[in-house]
Amino acid sequence: MSQSGFVRVGFLLSSLVALATSSWAGVNPAAGSAFSGRISVEQAVGKPAKDSGMVVVYLNPLGSKPAKPPVAGKFSVASRAKIYVPEVQIIPVGSEVDFPNDDSILHNTFSLSKAKPFDLGLYGKGGTKSVTFDRPGIVRLYCNIHQKMQAFLAVVETPYFALTDSSGEFTIPELPAGEYEIGVWHRYGGGFDKKLTVSNADPASRRFEAKVVEEGRLIQHGNKFGQEYPDKY
């Protein structure tokens, strides 16, 4: 075969490879490794809530460990203008959380949650204390002085998690194919777990939609001693 013949054959093979690659990319693009969805929040009366944000979504692999283990980090929950900022966070197991007081008044953050009970005591403006969260679960944070202060930490053992935006949408950028248990949790309602299969060949398996019911904006609770709060607070 002449040199020109080799060139033509080489060009043809290159074209076929490019075409096959392009066709495969159209079926299963790199972005297909993402897992996304929408969690709709409804009021107890059946009407859509004004905001579907800050719903916790996480996926635990079944029968195997995550392809990449969750990495513990450093986080913060600030007391600011008598609210906690942010109100909801997802953190990997082993992470440390700072609790700075940005107010000019005293605060006393505590939790009676099974995953991590703790009591930081009273401290004023500019002070901060830290807690390491070494077990998975939902940790409810309250102030022993101000009943309306509340925040929530979802401590997870997986790197595959996300918070929904105000419209209820969420995206986990990379999720390997496999069997999972998806957890959905809403701070003013409840949540659920569900098993599902995520496939590279089935784009529909990489989209998840569900709804949760919002039961009330203020969770009734006692102080760290289990007593009622004074009316003035």
Query: What total of structural domains would you count in the chain?
Result: 3
Does residue 52 share a domain with residue 112? no
168 in the same domain as 64: yes
Please tell me the predicted confidence (pLDDT) of residue 9. 32
Residues 115 and 138 grouped into a single domain: yes
Backbone torsion region of residue 12, taken as left when φ is above 0, otherwise alpha when ψ lies between -120 and 50, otherwise beta:
alpha
**DSSP string computed for 54-68:** S-EEEEEESSS--SS
Could you tell me whether strands 191-198 and 161-163 are parallel, antiparallel, or unpaired per DSSP bridges? unpaired
Residue 140 vs residues 34, 38, 172: alpha-carbon distances, Å: 30, 24, 24
Quickly count: other Cβ atoms within 10 Å of residue 192's Cβ.
11
Per DSSP (E only), the strands in the chain are: 35-43, 56-61, 74-76, 78-80, 83-85, 88-92, 95-100, 109-111, 118-119, 128-133, 137-143, 150-156, 161-163, 169-172, 178-185, 191-198, 207-214
> 17 lies in which domain range?
1-30
The confidence score (pLDDT) of residue 189 equals 86
Question: Both tokens of residue 178?
Answer: 């496999």
What's the pLDDT at 134? 97
Q: Residues in the chain with pLDDT < 70?
A: 1-32, 217-218, 232-233
Contact 107, 146 (CB under 8 A): yes
CA-closest candidate to residue 200, choices 69, 12, 61, 32 = 32
Share of the chain above pLDDT 70, in %: 84
**4 and 59: one domain?**
no
pLDDT given for residue 12 in this prediction: 31
In this structure, the answer to whether residues 92 and 151 fall within a common structural domain is yes
Q: Which of 226, 225, 77, 58 is nearest to 139 (CA)?
A: 77
The reply to whether 20 and 98 lie within a common domain is no
Nearest CA to 191 among 91, 55, 92?
Answer: 55
Together in a domain, 177 and 219? yes
Does residue 22 share a domain with residue 40? no
> In this structure, what are the phi and psi dihedrals at residue 128, rounded to the nearest 5 degrees?
-150, 150
Residues 196 and 217 occupy one common structural domain: yes
Residues 82 and 153 occupy one common structural domain: yes
What is the Cα–Cα distance from 24 to 98, expressed in whole angstroms?
A: 47
CATH value at residue 76? 2.60.40.420
**What percent of the residues of the chain are helix, what percent strand, and what percent coil, each to the nearest 5?**
15, 40, 45
pTM: 0.83
CA distances (Å), origin 133, targets 75, 119, 127, 129, 157 = 11, 13, 20, 13, 11
